[in-house]
A and B are shown apart, each in its own frame.
Chain A
């Protein structure tokens, strides 16, 4: 469950302003964030993940009020509970596919890397069709394969929330469908909440719920959210 109340956010520079009076995303649903560029979709993902902090308001994710946590606690919460998928994949070029998938377990002592995790990573990669490419560098993969690696990295810690920022934005139609299938399958199996930012209206129909950011009125001078 994700709850947003009386949220106000603005960047240190520029006149972007996001105000969301109330938004609730139920546990286990698949939600598409749609709306024009610059309407605050990615910003809200970052706020839900605790990457950014609002000027005002509350964000409660999995019964944890992120706005009350310090930076270290938010990072620990994020790496345990939230799987992030990016449009540009954000894989580390100097790591192999397997090492990229295992990355969350190497960058936070809250996660413990052991043989079980390694085995799960291998099975995850096999499940998305890249099991034979574990020792390849990420740079040697196709776009679709890169995004599948990124998805595996996001899913490895068994997150209860997946936040995907235009995960199909750089993919051809075949790979778009395949990556979404993987995300939907995981969410359904794990009972996880999937929040996806997308500009692709063809894909919107696959989501159980749509949040259109045109419904939020933004104004540098403090407009009222609708």
Chain B
């Protein structure tokens, strides 16, 4: 048996290309379905963990999936917005802590998350360097954002305009980086956090410009009456909030009407949770309350169905690859007919010659399976990190 394995090994080592192709085929046949299952399972765990850590989400009526993806992972389309008053509604209900979210804008491809300080506590986020949010116009970066943009405390990050062709739209705002968060292996790593009011500044609901009531601003006034001053086009809005101009920033309109995309509702117990859910059961209500776990479970059910199809497809490819491998082995046997005949003539035993031929297949299969096993172990060990890097 040892001699047969040795001869098989010499044969495979001599025919390197053929061996590499066969081993790769066997490795892929074994690894693809197994590795895919491992990756899918880990993805499920990652997605589910975030959903399970978020008790309830309140958002404008529409797609619950869109609401969950935007609020949990800062991904996908921006859901319909709702009034900030809805956050106040949750808060004043006394049934849950309300953490408002406004996830609409981006800075160099990274989502800007407008929220309150409660969010950091709720998610257990720690500042690794610098400080937290202290004033309007500040931002705190997720760890991966800081890495990707190569910025840190004291630097500046500029929000991206929504459309370069929309001159009347959202203007870029320069934000001061106050701190960088520690790695949390969550979507928070790739987000830029600002105070909710800063998000509204980006949108233009809060803005700052020179005091038009001052005598030196006379040239910038279009119309003035006893209660109102209207500036002309020469009035320049501040694109950055500084200690010098922060007093010039002011709200227009009722803050309760300002937009937010979601409210994370954190009820203290199951009873409060149930009552709160009941408060949003009216079909006339303009907002919905969803349990992220239910939404993500539905999503995963759909993924599972897709996975079944993918595995079926992989199985079909696997069978055809296996058939090709068998064909290669059979052709190999035919090519080795003269060698087999020589061994027989010399006096090689039937079993030994058979083992030499079988060992070629056994070695290829064993090496292929071992490699597939190794890849599966690597996938299960590092798959989570890869998944986090890809989906978070």
Contact = CB atoms under 8 A, between A and B. Distances in A.
Interface of A: 46, 49, 51, 71-72, 75-80, 82, 84, 86, 90, 92-95, 99, 103-110, 113, 137, 153
B382 interface: no
B346 A78 contact: yes
A90 B343 CA distance: 9
A75 B6 contact: no
A107 B348 contact: yes
Nearest to A159: B347
Contact of A95 (B10, B345, B349, B352): B10
B185 to A, nearest CB: 50
Contacts of B338: 90
Interface size class of B (residues with CB under 8 A): 20 to 34
B252 interface: no
B89 interface: no
A76 B349 contact: yes
B342 A86 contact: yes
A24 to B, nearest CB: 24
B355 to A, nearest CB: 9
A51 B10 CA distance: 27
24 contacts: A71-B350, A75-B344, A75-B348, A78-B346, A79-B346, A80-B347, A82-B347, A86-B345, A90-B342, A90-B345, A95-B10, A103-B346, A106-B3, A106-B4, A107-B7, A107-B346, A107-B348, A107-B349, A108-B347, A109-B349, A109-B352, A110-B349, A113-B3, A153-B346
Interface string B4-30: 101100110111000000000000000
Contact of A137 (B14, B347, B348, B350): B14
A130 B281 CA distance: 93
A36 B344 CA distance: 27
B339 interface: yes
Nearest to A79: B347
Contacts of B90: none
A108 B342 CA distance: 13
A137 B348 CA distance: 21
A152 to B, nearest CB: 13
A94 B11 contact: yes
Contacts of B342: 86, 90, 92
Interface in B241-294: none
A75 B347 contact: yes
A90 B344 CA distance: 12
B11 A108 contact: no
A103 B351 CA distance: 15
B360 to A, nearest CB: 11
Given A94-B11, A107-B3, 7 more contacts: A75-B348, A92-B342, A94-B14, A107-B347, A108-B347, A110-B349, A153-B346
Contacts of B347: 75-80, 82, 104, 107-108
A90 B341 CA distance: 9
Contacts of B10: 94-95, 99
Contacts of A93: 14
A84 B6 CA distance: 23
Nearest to B8: A94
A93 B11 CA distance: 9
Contacts of A103: 343, 346
